[in-house]
Amino acid sequence: MTLPHNARKDEDAKWLTPGVASIGAASFFSDAGHEIATSVVPAFLTTVLGGSAATLGLIEGVSDALTGAMKVIGGPLANDPARRRRLATGGYIVTAAATAAIGFATAVWQVGVLRALAWGARGVRSPARDALLGSLARPHTFGRAFGLERAGDNLGAVVGPLLAAVLVAWLGLRPAIWLAFIPGMLAAVAIIVAAREAKAHNTGGRRPIRLDPRGLRRAGIGRPLLPVLLFECGNLATTLLILRATDLFTTLGFAHAASLAILLYAGHNAVAALVSLPGGYWLDRVGPRRVFASGAIAYVFAYGLIAVASVDWVFAAGGFLLAGAGIGLAETAESAFIAQMLPDELRGSGFGVVGGIQAVGNIVGTVVAGVLYATVSPATAFAYAGAWMILSVAASILLKVPRAGGA
């Protein structure tokens, strides 16, 4: 049913409910908290605990893979409203506690276990949080709601490293990690507020735990996920972008090169935060396909600039900022698409499937690009990633998205 123009306008004005705002706040505080730890852990592991760069890479690789696996597992669990509230709340609490506990570690293996626990909790809570947001937001404002959540997440990725730098200089490595517990628990409080509002609106009974691939296929999300898979195969880990920037600026000295690369990374996240919410407004007007394709196009130009950045540092800066715009638009579109296409009883599964696609695509893209970077050239690596983005744009244009079944 289509709302009359005046009624639609009134509904639009009320899109930012306490529940929607709370989820945006939860993403901001949680990301700020674990980014504090992420910024400090490399130095803590190598200088305090005597670990190696290889060990750090293994810990991060296993943790990231576990996040993707837990998203797939957590998806069907989040189909049930009561269970999704518990998963979201518990996931944020466990992430905060396990992340802060890294500061108490006295051995490298303890860091690995705690990091895996924190990242596993992040994975299992993600579909629950997104399904929770889908139940709280109005269908014609999904773009804004998920844009706000992405903006909060990306803004936390700007604030977290800055806080880490201040805390390390002021208190040292261990206390900085301990204090990550504060924003983490603020995130848990925010998600509890959202869960209580969702509980007040829920009138359905319990639902079975199942992925329900037939239901997902009937809802029509099969073929439209192809552009997402292609995009994620080209969505390189930001660490590879940071490495490229560091290499470009080595003539200034390693310390200055690393500092400039981190500043570019902060700028990347800031642009993603700034673009997400306007991108959500745009999505509510034109639908997710155009917004998603625009994100992929931004990446094509970003990788092109980064590939030829040896000509001028401005090219590297432009590439980082364009990549930030690309991820802000694409991630908002991916989440809003699932919320629009699927009914509430299938959204958890849908978000879990997308999480699995993101994990697989990121691993495939980044591993191959890393090999190309080391054995051929950085330009070849970013050209490879750009080719995936071009394919994603083509698939977005050619594949027709069926009418939403869940909106």
* 2, part of any domain: no
**Environment class of residue 104 by beta-carbon count within 10 Å: exposed (0-12), middle (13-18) or buried (19+)?**
exposed
Side-chain-side CA neighbours of residue 57 (13 Å) = 8
Q: Does the structure show a pLDDT above 70 at 221?
A: yes
pLDDT, tens digit (0-9, with 9 covering 90-100), for 150-164: 999 999 999 998 898
pLDDT given at position 386: 95
Long-range pairs, 380-386, Cβ under 8 A, ≥24: 381/236, 381/240, 382/236, 382/244, 382/303, 382/304, 382/306, 382/307, 383/303, 383/307, 385/234, 385/235, 385/236, 385/299, 385/303, 386/234, 386/299, 386/300, 386/303, 386/304, 386/307
Q: Is 264 helix (H, G, I), strand (E, B) or coil?
A: helix
Confirm whether 174 is domain-assigned: yes
* Rounded distance between C-alpha atoms, residue 297 and residue 302, angstroms: 9
Q: Looking at the domain assignment, is residue 146 inside a domain?
A: yes
Query: How many domains does the chain contain in total?
Result: 2
Residue 217's pLDDT is 80
Domain extent, residue 91, equals 15-200
Among 269, 289, 273, 364, CA closest to 334? 289
Let me know whether 222 and 156 are in one domain: no
pLDDT per position as a tens digit, 316-362: 889 999 999 999 999 999 999 999 988 888 888 899 999 888 888 87
Closest CA to 303 of 387, 386, 388: 386
pLDDT of the residue at 202? 65
Q: 216 and 174, same structural domain?
A: no
- pTM value > 0.95: no
Q: Do 141 and 159 fall into the same domain? A: yes
286 pLDDT band (50/70/90 cuts)?
very high
Contact 357, 81 (CB under 8 A): no
Q: Is the pLDDT of residue 138 over 60?
A: yes
Q: Which among 335, 318, 234 is positioned nearest to 277, based on CA atoms?
A: 335
Q: List Cα–Cα distances, 49 to 33, 110, 119, 335, in angstroms.
A: 22, 10, 21, 39
Cα–Cα dist 329/291, whole Å: 6
Question: Do the domain assignments include residue 155?
Answer: yes
d(CA 347, CA 339): 6
Residue-wise pLDDT tens digits, 371-384: 888 888 888 999 99
Domain boundary among 170, 200, 230: 200
Q: Identify the band that residue 64 occupies on the pLDDT scale cut at 50, 70 and 90.
A: confident
Please indicate, yes or no, if residue 109 is contained in any of the structural domains: yes
- Least-confidence region, from 56-65, 181-190, 345-354, 355-364: 56-65
Tell me the pLDDT band of 95, cut-offs 50, 70 and 90. Answer: very high
Measured from the Cβ of residue 174, the count of other Cβ atoms closer than 10 Å reads 16
Task: Take residue 393 and report the two structure tokens written for it.
Answer: 């744009």
Q: At 115, which CATH number? A: 1.20.1250.20
Q: Does residue 405 form part of some domain?
A: no
- The burial class, CB within 10 Å (0-12 / 13-18 / 19+), for 86 is middle
Q: Between these two residues, 167 and 58, which has the higher pLDDT value? A: 167
Could you give the C-alpha distances from 261 to 123, 252, 265, 267, in angstroms and in order? Answer: 28, 12, 6, 10
- What is the per-residue pLDDT across 224-275, written as a single tens digit (0 to 9) for each? 889 999 999 999 888 788 778 877 877 767 667 767 777 888 899 999 999 9
Distance CA 401, CA 343 (A): 16
Torsion angle, CA of 120/138/201/90, rounded to 10 degrees?
10
Confidence class of residue 1 from pLDDT cuts 50, 70 and 90?
very low
For the chain, give the longest Cα–Cα distance.
65
Q: Would you say residue 315 lies in a domain?
A: yes
Pair 183, 221 in one domain? no
pLDDT interval class at 9 (50, 70, 90): low
